Amino acid sequence: MLTIARSISACIFCFLFAVTAANAAEDDWLTYRHDSARTGAQPVASDLSDPARIRGLHVVAQFPPEGSPAVPGGFKASPIVVDGMVFIGDVNGHFYALDATSGALIWQYPKAGDPPLNGPSSCVGDDFAGGYGTYGIQSDATFAVIGGQKAVIFGAPDPTVDLGLGSARLFALPLSPADPNDPQPIWKSHDPVARVTGCHPGNPHELHERIAYSAPLVFGDKVYVGIHDTGDSPIQQGRVAAVDLNTGHSTGFQFLGAGNAPGDGFRGGGVWNALATDGTDVYFTTGNTQPAPWCTFPYGMENCPLKTEPPNNHGLSMIRVDKDTGNVKWAFQPVPFFFDGDPDWAAGATVMSASCGELIASVQKDGWSYAVNAGNGSLRWQFPPTGFGTCLPQRRARGRRLQAARRRVERRVHSQDGGRGCRPPWPRSQRL
């Protein structure tokens, strides 16, 4: 893993192969973390699953070829493998199809000489994590079958919309284009799924939406992708977009991280990672809704600036939504709004088939991991096992607003902790 990461940061994509080869189906890796449940599992035994043979792996090919200039900026996405071809995008907005054996370029989109899928350098805005619309292709592609045709779907800024500032679309391309020298999409999403309408950091009247880190999820007749921001400059209203698999047109699906309607002024709950499915509904995690300054340790009202919680606050949550409508079926929020120290979920949701049933699991960036029951979102386990500590400190809250805030938090904790009542708050920020 370190060797691969080092190669990618050096702007070269390396191919590691062992002595024996499996058949094409066994070699396929069709989407981010292998499958739509995001298990990361390798179900078929191979040299990569045999520790004794790992040391025998060696580089046999690379892209660009040895001796050629490296890709400026390199790769931040990881590849998928389908039918003997490797698919990956770079941070400059080029998407490549490569021969899995030789590393040779089969085709690229846009074709050489055409403008890349990126926003202008003049509209970086906040340059955290690649800027507003200048991040290129940073998430994995996903395999799909569209009208009987094998295809690959990925997300990227589209310089042809919204004045070319970096609003993003989903792109579906055939695995084997009719003209490899000029591949054409099966479709581009009819409307941008994430919009950039200005380049000024902190401007609340502009949209600074991105899909940089959310690999598409193909499930049924829809393609889903999460919308987030960059650098909270300012925080955007988190969303999940879903387009029709066969046409790329928007569907009636709608999820908002906060607020009552798109663009109603409420912010937060960005969907930063790839969504997952168990074949029934859709699962994902969300970011914070509180803008800075955030809560600091030790957690208490004296260290947590009192702010107004937005309506329908689904921030800092692991969530199950209806696959057709986006309606929330449950939301597990271990850190309530009033203790928001920007812990965020560091990963998307993973569907786990365990001896105790189906679980949905993820980890927050402060180091706490959680698994909940897929059916109702109730907590199954937490690690480290420090107790479900989302209670306010046991001291008298002063003022009506503080008392009301405390009652809301305690009611939420009581419902999420199975009615077992409050436990002491955990020293979360010590883990940052």
Indicate whether 345 belongs to any domain. Answer: yes
Give the mean pLDDT of 366-375: 94
Q: Is pLDDT of 14 > 90?
A: no
pLDDT reported for residue 15: 59
292 vs 130, 229, 432, CA distance in Å?
A: 21, 15, 17
Q: Is pLDDT of 147 > 60?
A: yes
Indicate whether 312 belongs to any domain. Answer: yes
The residue type of 199 is C
Q: Is pLDDT of 145 > 70?
A: yes
Cβ-based neighbours of 198, under 8 Å, separated by 6 or more: 165, 205, 206, 207, 208
pLDDT reported for residue 1: 25
295 pLDDT band, cuts 50/70/90, is confident
Q: What is the pLDDT of residues 94-117, one digit of tens each?
A: 999 999 999 999 999 999 999 999
Indicate whether 337 belongs to any domain. Answer: yes
pLDDT reported for residue 290: 84
β-partners of residue 224 are: 217, 242
Indicate whether 137 belongs to any domain. Answer: no
CATH code, domain with 399: 2.40.10.480
Measure the CA–CA gap between 370 and 354, rounded to whole angstroms.
Answer: 14
Indicate whether 348 belongs to any domain. Answer: yes
Measure the CA–CA gap between 318 and 12, rounded to whole angstroms.
Answer: 35
Q: Is pLDDT of 367 > 90?
A: no
Q: What is the pLDDT of residues 256-280, one digit of tens each?
A: 999 999 999 999 999 999 999 999 9
Q: What is the pLDDT of residues 168-212, one digit of tens each?
A: 999 999 999 999 999 999 999 999 999 999 999 989 999 999 999
- The owner of tokens 């260290």 is 303
For residues 130 and 42, which has the higher predicted lDDT (pLDDT)?
Answer: 42
2 pLDDT band, cuts 50/70/90, is very low
Buried/exposed 19-55: b ≥16 CB within 10 Å, e otherwise: eeeeeeeeebbbbbbbbbbbeeeeeeeebeeeeeeee
Indicate whether 29 belongs to any domain. Answer: no
Domain of 432 in residue numbering reads as 272-432
pLDDT reported for residue 131: 82
Q: Is pLDDT of 412 > 80?
A: no
Indicate whether 355 belongs to any domain. Answer: yes
Task: State the virtual CA torsion across 211, 118, 15, 217 in degrees, nearest 10.
Answer: 20
Average pLDDT of the chain? 85
170 three-class SS: strand
For residues 214 and 122, which has the higher predicted lDDT (pLDDT)?
Answer: 214
Number of domains observed in the structure of the chain: 1
pLDDT reported for residue 51: 86
Q: Is pLDDT of 66 > 50?
A: yes
Indicate whether 304 belongs to any domain. Answer: yes
Measure the CA–CA gap between 269 and 316, rounded to whole angstroms.
Answer: 7
Percent of the chain with pLDDT over 90: 63
Give the mean pLDDT of 134-151: 96
